[in-house]
Amino acid sequence: MQFELSEEQRLIQETARRIAKERVAPRAAEMDVSEEYPHDIYEAFRDVGLLGLTIPEAYGGSGSGVLSLALAVEEVAKYCCASGLVLLLSALPTQPIVFGGSEDQKNQWLEQVATGAAKAAFCLTEPNSGSDASALETRAVRDGDDYVLNGEKMYISGGTVADFVVAFAKTDSSSGPKGISGFIVPTDSPGFSVAGQDRKMGVRGVPTANLVFKDVRVGPDLLIGGEEGKGFNQAMLTLNSLRPVVGARGVGLAEGAMTYALNFARDREAFGKPIADLQAIQFMFADMAIQIEAARLLVYQGAWLVDQGKYRRENASMLSIAKAFATEMAVKVASDALQVLGAQGYMMDHPLERHYRDARQLTIVEGTSQIQRVVIARALMERELVYP
């Protein structure tokens, strides 16, 4: 067992840390208020090569891997969880193509995202299906060689700015998950529209959108992998592989919140001394550090497993453990850090109320905490997760 990062991973971490301090931190509060996608931050990531970390070198990325992405996301989320999502969105819609796409599709679509030529979004959730993703209702009906898509997708991160989306639709409504296929849909396709942008509690710098597909016609070259019925598996592998990265958003957020509160506690006086001298406050910080360090190890281990190719069903429980623990930890640490500031923590003059609102998103997206427990419990019951 070794805990050292590689030279490349350290470099990525340092680069992300620098961009986070110089470009992300000064913009974080403003993005939260304006609710506008931060194109400047996206371009800063692009300019230092952070958009292609999970995209193989052969297709224009750096192929550094999911642990590298987790490291970068952690640094950015210390100041702005939404900007961490901007980075994550370079992987979420591209992993289905990396895992299941044809050679031509990889060549055509992946490099665009890695180089910042195109933004993409991942469309699974619908009005009547979230956790139960296989109940999705969007249809893709064969018409000659083409497919015609009809349906609606909800809460799609980056949906308002995407140049193409990866959308999952039923090509065979009689065969459950096996009837689901993945499609690449350019957003300038006739019949595709952004029906609305959500008003939401947190992570407001990355708009989520309601997307409508009305008789959207795509050629057979846009069916991911060229084979029907593979979409559910592509979507699940994608979600499995990125669960540690959602966890990394939580770890970074918690580190940022704790550090901010610690600096505050050193200055704020009560009963004639800094509140940082009070043991009750010190123990709150000790608990935060324990939680952060435990979560960070789970997240790094999960990301490392993915980079070893271990992101299929038999390894899913470790990825779910990392996601559930790190995101719930982020909610708790953000809440405790806010508490340290007293009334000031509740005010928008400080970033802690934003961290707290942002943290609440993390236990819902890419599989709720309850769904992670379903995965973990199943692994225990089926003896995939054993302690011999």
Select from 28-36, 72-80, 361-369, 377-385 the region that touches ligand FAD (CB under 6 A). Answer: 361-369
| Phi, psi dihedral angles at 349 (to 5 degrees) | -70, -20
Number of neighbouring beta carbons within 10 Å of residue 174: 7
- Note whether 123 binds ligand FAD by CB under 6 A: yes
DSSP summary character for residue 366: T
- Note whether 197 binds ligand FAD by CB under 6 A: no
| Cβ atoms of residues 240 and 311 within 8 Å | yes
Q: Which is nearer to ligand FAD, 336 or 366 (CB)?
A: 366
Using CB under 6 A, pick the residue from 68, 187, 361, 372 that binds ligand FAD: 361
Least Cα distance to 240 among 66, 69, 383, 387 occurs for: 66
- Note whether 130 binds ligand FAD by CB under 6 A: yes
Least Cα distance to 55 among 115, 140, 125 occurs for: 115
- Note whether 175 binds ligand FAD by CB under 6 A: no
Tell me the three state secondary structure of residue 206. coil
Using CB under 6 A, pick the residue from 371, 375, 376, 385 that binds ligand FAD: 371
Q: Is residue 366 among the annotated active site residues?
A: yes
Q: Which is nearer to ligand FAD, 203 or 337 (CB)?
A: 203
Phi-psi region of 229 (alpha: psi -120 to 50; beta: other; left: phi over 0): left
Beta strand 273-274 pairing with 139-143: unpaired
- Note whether 122 binds ligand FAD by CB under 6 A: yes
- Note whether 124 binds ligand FAD by CB under 6 A: yes
Annotate each residue in 243-282 with x if it binds ligand FAD (CB under 6 A) or - if it does not, as one string: ----------------------------------------
Residues 6+ apart with CB under 8 A from 157: 85, 89, 92, 121, 122, 206, 207, 208, 365
Q: Which two tokens stand for residue 231?
A: 């979409």
- Note whether 324 binds ligand FAD by CB under 6 A: no
Question: Of the listed 328, 366, 382, 384, which one is catalytic?
Answer: 366
- Note whether 377 binds ligand FAD by CB under 6 A: no
Name the residues that contact ligand FAD, by CB under 6 A.
121-125, 130-131, 155-157, 200, 203, 208, 361, 364-366, 368, 370-371, 374
Q: Which residues are catalytic?
A: 366
